[in-house]
Amino acid sequence: MVKENGLFRMIGISLIAAFILSACSATVTPIATVPLAASPTPLNQGGSNAEVATNTTAAVFTATPPTAETLNPTAAVPETATPAPQAAAQVIPTLNAYCRKGPGTGYNQITFLLKGAPYKVTGRDGLNRWWQVQAPGNVTCWVGNANVTTQGPVEEAAIVQGPPLPATPAQFVNSFVCNTTLKTMGVSFNWAAVGGVTGYRIYRDGSPLTEVGPTVTSYHDDAPLGVDLVYELEAFNDYGVAARISTNVPACK
């Protein structure tokens, strides 16, 4: 019995010893340490300077300034600005204005332009007093500069000639017969013919009196009594009219 107890004791001691040896042989991970700067060796008692250690090198870091790409790597490279497109050549009526067949008040009106609406300029006269524009319905007509404001390069538009108007007759004369007994007043007119006309119109005191054909060059009027009268003659064609010519007739009393 005593021998068995001794045997068990020996086995236990052996196990404990083996455990201790196993623990001592375990691998220990070394902890990295940062070396401290070397301190100068103090002077020897004998008065001579001790050699300063030179085998320790200090780490040197050089700071590099950040670039724009580093701070904002996604920043886009600025592009060259594209010039703004030039405004179109246009006119804007300052009132509802007539638009005519040619550059002048003698031309017949085709349509009218609305106040405040822009219209494209397609041509101009040589003095920039009239503008050829594109009206609704694909209509090309002319408007006076006095009735519009302009925008864009209107002066770069091509110079366009208007269609031909008839000339003003060179003469317009009258002869009259005043009969106070019969209370009648007869006035006869003659004028010089012009080419390129559709006909002639005669006005009495500003009101239309008659219209005759292109081959007619005379007319007779039974005029009212007691008033001075002004007669006007106007040649016209399909584009417009010539300037009027006038003659005066005294009152029959």
Q: Residue 15: which H helix or E strand, with range?
A: helix 2-24
Alpha helices, DSSP H, located in the chain:
2-24, 68-71
pLDDT in tens, 182-226: 999 999 999 999 999 999 999 999 999 999 999 999 999 999 999
Q: Per-residue pLDDT averaged across 156-179, rounded?
A: 95
Residue 41 has pLDDT above 60, yes or no: no
Which segments of 21-153 are extended strands (E)? 90-93, 97-100, 109-113, 119-124, 130-135, 139-144, 148-151
Q: Is the separation of the CB atoms in 138 and 110 below 8 Å?
A: no
Point out which residues pair with 150 in neighbouring strands: 91
pLDDT in tens, 87-122: 899 999 999 999 999 999 999 999 999 999 999 999
* Predicted pLDDT of residue 146: 96
Instruction: For residue 60, give both structure tokens.
Output: 């040197």
* Predicted pLDDT of residue 11: 60
Q: Which residue has the higher pLDDT, 152 or 43?
A: 152
Quick one: pLDDT band at residue 9, thresholds 50, 70, 90?
Answer: low
Residue 62 has pLDDT above 70, yes or no: no
Domain annotation for the chain: domains and CATH numbers: 90-156 (2.30.30.40), 172-249 (2.60.40.10)
* Predicted pLDDT of residue 83: 64
Residue 47 has pLDDT above 50, yes or no: no
Range among 43-57, 70-84, 233-247 with highest mean pLDDT value: 233-247
